[in-house]
């Protein structure tokens, strides 16, 4: 209920000023993530089944979230009235995908890590980056890795606030 | 005639599949009776639960409010593939939970039962991906060929997964 009340209070820049914590100002990126840190993401009702975000509502490449260290959950719906809020934990990000090679192919192991990518009006903005063989992979080519990642994140997601 | 359990009341297939349909799917499109074949005297319909899925599939191409933020519009080809799959599911009397647009661009058919989940995703790239998950163990993902046989296999695989007793 407290969350609900706060959500109603921070619905839009037309009625409320953007919270100062969201403004980057002179602050630099910070990559000291802790496993229990949370990553928030806004969602539509269409994207929720059985209390989880669906994997098909998630896009792997540079998936966008807000880091709990510098934000409140409801910051992700500032200026997005009608949206809900879901969260992941940093410790939920997989480190060894795919689970098995697809038939007839060998796929290098992929891991996923958060990367703080502040925006001027959203300092907490954080992307989830893919890595393989020590290199960042802006594009993951393996369909198996992409599909497994999206479903794992779905399974580990929690909807905090329904749209 | 009286409406049978396999008769649908959704709008004509011509409305779902544009006249420009790729011949690639001509042999795969489901043979489903349309509204005109229903009993006009009783106006009896036989909604087997699929009607709104066909309507939703049709609306996904144009209604951007149904797309995840930043997603590209589902392509006609992805929609056609999903339509073929929906026809297969209808033939199998296997009702999906929801049809949605994919964040990766395309259409997905989702299933859930007893905290188990599965989907089949028809991407704009032409690729078809399946996944099943019990929400506890690692999900299992696989690629599906755009053939009637592989789509039927995917339907059977997902049904078997969802109907299986939960593991202790």
For the cut 80, the answer to whether the pLDDT of residue A137 exceeds it is: yes
Beta strands, E only, A10-153: 38-43, 48-49, 52-53, 63-67, 84-89, 110-116, 125-132, 135-136
What percent of chain A lies above the pLDDT cut of 70? 91
- Mean pLDDT in residue range B129-153: 95
Q: Which residue among A58, A143, A148 places its CB closest to the CB of B103?
A: A58
Candidates B60, B102, B104: best to mutate against A (most CBs of A within 10 A) is: B104
Contact state of B127 with A143 under an 8 Å Cβ cutoff: yes
Whole-model pTM: value is 0.84
For B40-44, B99-103, B123-127, B154-158, which range has the lowest pLDDT when averaged over its residues? B40-44
- Mean pLDDT in residue range A137-160: 95
For the cut 50, the answer to whether the pLDDT of residue B139 exceeds it is: yes
The model's pLDDT over B111-134, given as tens digits with 9 standing for 90+, comes to 999 999 999 999 999 999 999 999
Estimate to the nearest angstrom the gap between the alpha carbon of B12 and the chain centroid. 16
Task: For residues A110 and B163, give the distance between their C-alpha atoms in angstroms, rounded to a whole number.
Answer: 32
Q: Given this model, what pLDDT does residue B31 score? A: 52
Q: Given this model, what pLDDT does residue B41 score? A: 45
For residue A142, give its domain range: 3-19+27-161
What percent of chain A lies above the pLDDT cut of 90? 78
Measured over all CA atoms, what is the biggest interatomic distance in chain A, rounded to whole angstroms? Answer: 57
Question: How many separate domains does chain A show?
Answer: 1
Average pLDDT, chain B: 80
Q: Which residues of A touch B71 (CB under 8 A)?
A: 59
- Mean pLDDT in residue range A23-39: 97
Contact state of B141 with A46 under an 8 Å Cβ cutoff: no
Q: Which residues of A touch B (CB under 8 A)?
A: 42, 44, 46-47, 49-50, 52, 54-60, 98-99, 102, 143-144, 146-148, 151-152, 154-155
């Amino acid at each position: 209920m407290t969350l609900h009340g706060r959500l109603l209070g921070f619905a839009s820049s037309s009625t409320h000023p953007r919270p100062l914590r969201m403004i980057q100002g002179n602050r630099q990126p910070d990559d000291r993530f802790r496993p229990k840190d949370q990553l928030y993401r806004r969602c539509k009702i269409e994207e929720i089944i059985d209390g989880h975000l669906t994997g098909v509502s998630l896009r792997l490449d540079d998936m966008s979230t807000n880091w709990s260290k510098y934000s409140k959950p409801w910051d992700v719906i500032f200026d997005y009235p009608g949206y809900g809020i879901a969260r992941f934990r940093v410790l939920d990000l997989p480190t060894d995908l795919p689970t098995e090679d697809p038939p007839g192919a060998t796929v290098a192991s992929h891991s996923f890590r958060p990367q703080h990518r502040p925006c001027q009006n959203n300092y907490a903005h954080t992307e989830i980056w893919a890595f393989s063989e020590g290199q960042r992979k802006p594009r993951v080519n393996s369909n198996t890795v992409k599909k497994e990642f999206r479903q794992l994140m779905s399974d580990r997601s929690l909807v905090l606030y329904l749209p | 005639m009286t409406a049978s359990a396999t008769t649908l009341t959704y709008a004509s297939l011509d409305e779902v599949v544009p006249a420009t349909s790729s011949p690639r799917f001509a042999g795969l499109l489901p043979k489903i009776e349309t509204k005109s074949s229903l009993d006009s005297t009783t106006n009896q319909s036989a909604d087997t639960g699929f009607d709104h899925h066909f309507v939703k599939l049709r609306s996904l191409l144009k209604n951007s409010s149904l797309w995840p933020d930043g997603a590209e519009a589902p392509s006609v080809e992805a929609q056609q593939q999903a339509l073929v799959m929906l026809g297969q599911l209808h033939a199998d009397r296997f009702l999906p939970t929801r049809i949605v647009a994919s964040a990766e661009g395309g259409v997905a058919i989702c299933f859930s039962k007893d905290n188990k989940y599965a989907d089949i995703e028809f991407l704009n790239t032409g690729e078809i991906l399946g996944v099943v998950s019990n929400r506890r163990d690692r999900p299992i993902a696989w690629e599906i060929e755009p053939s009637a046989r592989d789509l039927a296999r995917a339907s059977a695989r997902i049904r078997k997964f969802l109907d299986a007793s939960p593991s202790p």
